[in-house]
Amino acid sequence: MSYSQFSALYSRFPIPNSRFPIPDSRFPNPSWEGLGVGSDSRFPIPDSRFPIPDSRFPIPDSRFPIPDSRLPNETMNQQRQKPHYSMCQGFRIPMGFPVTCFESGLSYNAQPEDNFIVTYPKCGTTWVQHIVWMLNHDGEPLPVGKDINLEVPHLEEVGADFVAAMASPRFIKTHISYSFTPYCADAKYIYIARNPFDCVVSFYYHTKGFVKHYNFAEGTFNDFFECFIEGEVDWGDYFEHLLSWYDHRQDDNVLFITYEAMKADTPNYIREIAKFLGSSYLDKLNNAEIFNSILKHTSFTSMSQDQSRWSSQRPKEMTPFIRKGEIGDWKNHFSDDQIARLYDKFIKKTAGTDIAMLWADLIPN
Ligand code: PPS
């Protein structure tokens, strides 16, 4: 081959020169035409629309496929982050909860005048804690400086002795499923359920935000979703919890309500709660001032103020504890695959019950 043939051939396939890198077709070189910027294809101008590859985040390579969220968990476990927990009697519990308190909480001797607010986490506990506190304080809101978790304490966090030492009637928060909850036939149990799609989103932000409890600040929603759907989160499987209490929804000493129904008609559910607690509470609502005060101070807007009343400090960059209070926020978080998988689990776990009717118009299918 003559030199001129050689050079004619190779000018079409230029020899790589590290000083003049060949643009990489995986990272398209933007056209600067129309942007008023001169261009030289040998020296591509970085364009923030097409970020420069970062060796910490490798370029997809078909030889090393990105894990597929549909793959079995064994594969995913190697990739994803998981929250950290302490273990107690087979339960995962937040790392900041004293194990001795959790244990003693389970063996608390429930008393006839006790009123339990029972939920799977993130289903409306704090909202109802504040409603019952205000009912018990003639419509006064919880003042700044007080902590709802000492006023209506979390049994598994403070332990049995703390609760036993409170004056009666007691108002007690718990996340325990039915068979583990301290039982007394004359005690009362208010159970609040929330649809699992919004529950997992709220639980994700909770777990990410309480860094000292879970060490999951960098965790993604996808990471958390896998833990939730496997029931590998604090207080266990959402569906087991719900089913355990749903079976008792018609017991005389159980008031079973949903977060969504409370949102749709809050005045009615404040009345229902007062009625369930007894006539002395219901009578208070005849006083319009008390009723309106409870309605106002337990609204999402009011409870978004002075949040130190509801939870311990979270890092500034995390979402607040009283976060959005919406129905359907899951639509901003779920992939199609996640919708299908949670729906599938929902249908399988609740087969033979009417649970799907609780959220007939909310749950995707
Ligand atoms: S916890 O940590 O389990 O006690 O959390 P919990 O209180 O059960 O749930 C927190 C979610 O309830 C929302 N919330 C409210 N929604 C409507 N109105 C009022 N007043 C209210 N108070 C709390 C709170 O914002 C959390 O839901 P998300 O979806 O994360 O906003």
Q: Which residue has the higher pLDDT, 33 or 331?
A: 331
Q: Are strands 86-88 and 91-93 parallel, antiparallel or unpaired?
A: antiparallel
Q: Which residue has the higher pLDDT, 9 or 315?
A: 315
> Nearest to residue 344, comparing CAs of 353, 329, 332, 356?
356
For 116-161, what is each residue's pLDDT tens digit?
999 999 999 999 999 999 999 999 999 999 999 999 999 999 999 9
Q: Are strands 171-174 and 188-193 parallel, antiparallel or unpaired?
A: unpaired
Q: Which of 123, 322, 329, 332 to mutate to test the pocket of ligand 1 (most atoms within 8 A of CB)?
A: 322
Residue 119: its H or E element: strand 115-119
Ligand 1 shell residues, CB under 6 Å: 119, 121-127, 198, 202, 205-206, 298-300, 303, 322-325, 329
pLDDT for 364:
74
Strand-pairing partners, residue 350, are none
- Give dist(CA 316, CA 129) in Å, integer: 25
What token pair was written down for 241? Answer: 């919890």
> Which residue out of 130, 175, 213, 241 is catalytically annotated?
175
How does DSSP classify residue 47? B
Helix (H, G, I), strand (E, B) or coil at 118: strand
Q: What is the DSSP string of 163-202?
A: HHTSPSSPEEEE---GGGS---TTSEEEEEE--HHHHHHH
- Give dist(CA 323, CA 136) in Å, integer: 26
For 191-238, what is each residue's pLDDT tens digit?
999 999 999 999 999 999 999 999 999 999 999 999 999 999 999 999
pLDDT for 278:
98
- Strands laid side by side in the 254-258 sheet: 171-174, 115-119, 188-193, 254-258
**Backbone phi and psi for residue 362, each to the nearest 5 degrees, phi listed first:** -110, -35
Report the share of the chain in percent with pLDDT over 70: 78
H helices within 298-335, ranges in order?
300-303
- Give dist(CA 296, CA 305) in Å, integer: 12
> Nearest to residue 115, comparing CAs of 53, 166, 54?
166
> Which pLDDT band holds residue 258 (cuts at 50, 70, 90)?
very high
Helix (H, G, I), strand (E, B) or coil at 50: strand
Owner of token pair 């649970």 = 355
> Which pLDDT band holds residue 249 (cuts at 50, 70, 90)?
very high
b/e per residue 16-48 (b: at least 16 CB within 10 A): eeeeeeeeeeeeeebeeeeeeeeeeeeebeebe
Closest protein CA for atom 19 of ligand 1 = 300
Closest protein CA for atom 2 of ligand 1 = 122
Q: Are strands 91-93 and 171-174 parallel, antiparallel or unpaired?
A: unpaired
Closest protein CA for atom 14 of ligand 1 = 325
- Please give the torsion angle defined by the CA atoms of residues 225, 233, 207 and 176, in that order, rounded to the nearest 10 degrees: 130
Q: Which of 97, 122, 334 to mutate to test the pocket of ligand 1 (most atoms within 8 A of CB)?
A: 122
Q: Is 84 a catalytic residue?
A: no
Q: Which residue has the higher pLDDT, 232 or 54?
A: 232
CA angle, corner 285, sides to 281 and 289, nearest 5? Answer: 130
Helix (H), strand (E), coil (C) string for 217-264: CCCCHHHHHHHHHCCCCCCCCHHHHHHHHHCCCCCCCEEEEEHHHHHH
pTM of the model: 0.81
CA-atom Rg of the chain in angstroms: 28
Tell me: pLDDT of 72 over 80.
no
Distance 199 CA to ligand 1 centre (A): 9
For 2-53, what is each residue's pLDDT tens digit?
444 434 443 343 334 333 343 333 333 333 333 333 333 433 444 444 443 3
What token pair was written down for 154? Answer: 């979390």
- Give dist(CA 293, CA 278) in Å, integer: 19
For 178-199, what is each residue's pLDDT tens digit?
999 999 999 999 999 999 999 9
> Nearest to residue 118, comparing CAs of 226, 205, 245?
245
